[in-house]
Amino acid sequence: MANDGANGTTFNWATTTVTISAVNSISFTEAGNEVDVTSMGDTSHEYVIGIADPECTIEYTGANNQTIGATGALKINWNDGGSDTMAAAVITNVEVSGGLDGALTTSLTFKPAPA
């Protein structure tokens, strides 16, 4: 049986020129950068966490209608009631792919932009 845990999740990309629909997958990662604080007297490396480095990737069916450098507000409303947001996001990567007898898909990567 398929896991439909993400069904009902919505992706909002607030730009004034285009919309994104038919989203197939969404990934939101928030990792902290590792800061090495090891001193010469330590017997192993020691780390603290620096500033967060969030990233969002979506894949949707259809040709690309976005451009690298486009900015806007991003919000994911997960079907469990939670959400993830970037008040100001920028598209940093665009990938379009397709294959024989397959759908054309576009993958977009978003990172925080200056407010």
What is the per-residue pLDDT across 10-29, written as a single tens digit (0 to 9) for each?
A: 888 876 445 576 788 999 99
Q: Is the pLDDT of residue 82 over 80?
A: yes
Q: Which residues of 87-99 are buried (b: 16+ CB within 10 A; e: fewer)?
A: eebbbeeeeeeee
Residue labelled with tokens 């990662």: 29
Domains in the chain, ordered, with CATH? 10-112 (2.40.10)
Q: How far apart are CA 107 and CA 60, in angstroms?
A: 7
Q: pLDDT tens for residues 45-57?
A: 999 999 999 999 9
Q: What average pLDDT does this structure show over 97-103?
A: 92
48 near 37, Cβ under 8 Å? yes
Write out the DSSP string of 60-98. Answer: EES-----TT-EEEEEEE-TTS-EEEEEEEEEEEEEEE-
Q: What average pLDDT does this structure show over 92-114?
A: 94
Torsion angle of C-alpha atoms 84, 3, 31, 56, degrees rounded to 10: -50
> In which order are the strands placed within the sheet that holds 23-36?
10-14, 71-77, 83-97, 105-112, 47-61, 23-36
